[in-house]
Structure 1
Amino acid sequence: MNALEVSNLTVSYDKKPVLEKVAFTVPEGSITGIIGPNGAGKSTLIKSILRLLPTISGDVQVLGKPYAKQKKVIGYVPQRSEVDWDFPTNALDVVLMGRYRHIGMFKRAGKKEIAWARTCLQKVGMLEYADRQISQLSGGQQQRVFLARALAQNAKVYFMDEPFSGVDAATEKAIIKLMKEWKEEGKTVVVVHHDLQTVEDYFDHVLLLNKQPIQFGETQTVFTLENLEKTYGGKIAFLQKAPTLEKESL
């Protein structure tokens, strides 16, 4: 079964199309990167898939069913810049928010839920900060708390919007370790990503996007200099591992 099927997805702001006829299929148990220049619509794509933004046309299927019927099996890690980090709550409460779809929005978390949330914090190295206000955490620590919240959701399909942006090396390692664990468990991860040098190490599949899909497929096939130049609209410096190409830094 495919984890995600997007067909003919079109989104516009103020009657101006920002995504046009996006279509791709993500196999279950894989890690997919969404790659493209600034303004290409990468975050817009994820938000429209999750129905956080309205669409003009298109269809989204998650594990063979419409998105509306699969909300409980979907996890989402937004960009850090979109979170109100001054909101008066601690790390444990943020993680417990990941259980609301299971326990109900207005029900109090029981001992079992709290124990699970603490386990998720421990898994990302943040248990000692469980009672710390989120505004008092560093950027990397805040991102780890949101990873723990995603873990608490116990989803089957995860969407992550620029999870590596502005984090320290240790947090980046923690994120990719978690992504690979999810994959080993048969779960699926879709990630908006900007660092071209890590694409081949992190992703099984890649969607190259610039307001419309340029290419989608297995990373080793699609992630080429030619396709990247089409995506970014011109020549770019690109670190290519293949020995036939000269290595350049971005």
Structure 2
Amino acid sequence: MNALSVQNLTVTYDKTPVLQHVGFDIPKGSLTGIIGPNGAGKSTLIKAILQLIPRTSGDIQVYGKPYHRKRRLIGYVPQRSEVDWDFPTSALDVVLMGRYGHIGFIKRPGKKEIQMAQEALRKVGMEDYQDRQISQLSGGQQQRVFLARALAQDARIYFMDEPFVGVDAATEKAIIQLMQEWKDEGKTVLVVHHDLQTVEDYFDHVLLLNKSPVGCGPTQKVFTMENLKQTYGGSLKFIGEHSVVLQERV
């Protein structure tokens, strides 16, 4: 059974299509990179799947069931730029938010939830910062806190929107290690990713997207020069047989 199935997903802003007739299947236990140029709709795709923005059409199924019936199986790590880091809350409180889907927003977290949140912070090397205000943390530390929140959610499918942007090498290594652990546990991870040179190292599955899917499947079959040219058009420079560098248009 596929972990995620998307059929005929269309999203429009002011009557302008941002995503058109998007359909793909993501197998259980895969690490999937969502790859495409700026403006391709990668972040929009995630938000539409998670019902964070309205969609014009589309059917989303999680493990063969409608999304709304399985939404508790979903974990989400947003872009850092979309978070209000000045909000007065501690690292531990942010991680505890990952438990609200299990205990509800009205019930206060108990000893069990606090212990789970502390263990999640420990796994990402942030146990000594649990009482620190999130505004006082570095970019890499803030990202680790959100990784801990995702851990506390204990989800089966994780969506991560550009998790490597603006983080240090140690945090990037921690993210990769966590993704691999999730995969080893049979969980499924989808990641919006920009660095084409690391795609083959990080992901066993890719979705090439430019408003509509160009290809979706195992990395070794889909992540080809032909498909990349179709995805990025004339915005690619080729170095070697597989390595590519994205050249942003002015």
Say yes or no: TM over 0.5: yes
Equivalent position of 1:154 in the other structure: 154
Contact 1:238-1:247 at 8 Å conserved across structures: yes
1:34 aligns with 2:34: yes
CA-based RMSD of the aligned residues comes to 1.2
Residues 197 and 244, structure 2, Cα contact 8 Å, conserved in 1 = no
Q: What is the alpha-carbon distance in structure 2 between the residues aligned to residue 97 and residue 215 of structure 1?
A: 35
SS in 1 for 2:189: strand
Aligned to 1:135: 135
1:91-240 correspondence to structure 2 within 5 Å: 91-234=91-234, 236-239=236-239
Alignment pair present for 1:3 and 2:40: no
What amino acid does structure 2 have at the position aligned with 1:222?
A: V
The separation in 2 between residues aligned to 1:108 and 1:194, in whole angstroms, is 39
Change (3 A) 1:247 1:95: closer
Unaligned runs of 5+ in 2: none
Q: Secondary structure at the match of 1:237?
A: strand
After superposition, residues 34-73 of structure 1 pair within 5 angstroms as 34-73=34-73
CA deviations on 1:136-189 (whole Å, 9 max, x unpaired) are 000000000000000000000000000011100000000010000000000000
Aligned residues: 246
Q: TM-score normalized by structure 2?
A: 0.96
| Cα pair 2:197 2:243 within 8 Å, conserved | no
For 1:59-112, what per-residue CA distance to the aligned partner results, in whole angstroms no more than 9, with x for missing partners? 000111111011111000000000000000000000000000111101111111
After superposition, the Cα gap between the structure-2 partners of 1:246 and 1:211, relative to the gap in structure 1 and judged at 3 Å, is: closer
Are 1:196 and 1:238, in contact at CA under 8 Å, matched by a contact in 2? no
Which 5+ residue runs of structure 1 have no aligned equivalent? none
2:19 paired residue number:
19
* Distance in 2 between residues matched to 1:53 and 1:76, nearest whole Å: 14
Structure-2 separation of matches of 1:171 and 1:150: 15
Match of 2:76 in 1: 76
Verify the 8 A CA contact 1:197 1:239 in the aligned structure 2.
no
The question of whether the paired residues in 2 share the 8 Å contact of 1:5 and 1:61 is answered with yes
> Structure 1 residues 92 and 248, CA, compared in 2 at 3 Å: closer, same or farther?
closer
Name the CA distance, whole Å, in 2 between partners of 1:247 and 1:197.
6
Q: Which aligned segments of 4 or more residues in structure 1 are displaced greater than 6 angstroms? A: none
**TM-score, normalised relative to structure 1:** 0.96
Give aligned-pair identity as a percent: 74
**2: distance between equivalents of 1:199 and 1:56?**
31
